[in-house]
Chains A and B, each alone.
Chain A
Amino acid sequence: EPEVTQTPSHQVTQMGQEVILRCVPISNHLYFYWYRQILGQKVEFLVSFYNNEISEKSEIFDDQFSVERPDGSNFTLKIRSTKLEDSAMYFCASSPTGTGSYLNEQFFGPGTRLTVL
């Protein structure tokens, strides 16, 4: 069964460093998402991406965040200068259609745990 994959599973970095979190969405999916979940808190939407551009972003997704689909398979989240409060589990998700479609189901990857020291 096709699945969303994410690498690495755990990343530890120093404050101020740049990190790139990688995701490989399901191959025929068109919509891609990043979410984060701070330990013990709720899942928060960061950004959605369609047709090689951001279609929606939350207030969390500020200038230090960026997303890219550098080739036909990868979808990356870059955090330019990490802060302590960026420590969280980051989930990538993909869906064959966008929100509002009766067929929309977002498939989540296993997550990358980011720890900023």
Chain B
Amino acid sequence: EDKVVQSPLSLVVHEGDTVTLNCSYEVTNFRSLLWYKQEKKAPTFLFMLTSSGIEKKSGRLSSILDKKELSSILNITATQTGDSAIYLCAVEAETSYDKVIFGPGTSLSVIP
């Protein structure tokens, strides 16, 4: 059964700290890995990763995929209170066409 696991499930940091969120997966015929940020309601897209070892960057956020370890990390540097959200990892697998499997999410709280 396809599975996506995230750790930690919950994290509290102070503003300015750097955080690393982890995602690991077990899927047949991996296609891509996606990171989303979910604040009050709908998830918003952050990154799509398909190739191992290539870092994607957007401002203070960056992410990299390791296909050998079946995992990905999402880094946030110099965290701000506005980074407080649930960060969702999702995986697309070729055996499930047009289906995306989400992990449980990491709840990040950034306190001043």
Residues of A within 8 A of B (CB): 31, 33, 35, 41-45, 48, 50, 55-56, 58, 89, 91, 98-100, 102, 104-111
Contact = CB atoms under 8 A, between A and B. Distances in A.
Nearest to B31: A100
Contacts of A108: 42-44
Contact of B98 (A44, A56, A89, A110): A56
Given A31-B98, A99-B99, 16 more contacts: A33-B100, A35-B102, A42-B88, A42-B104, A43-B43, A43-B88, A50-B98, A55-B98, A56-B99, A91-B43, A100-B32, A102-B48, A104-B32, A106-B45, A108-B43, A110-B41
A56 B97 contact: yes
B7 interface: no
B55 interface: no
Contacts of B98: 31, 33, 48, 50, 55-56, 98-99
Nearest to B99: A56
A68 B100 CA distance: 20
B99 to A, nearest CB: 5
Contacts of B103: 42
Given A100-B31, A100-B32, A100-B92, A111 B41 contact: yes
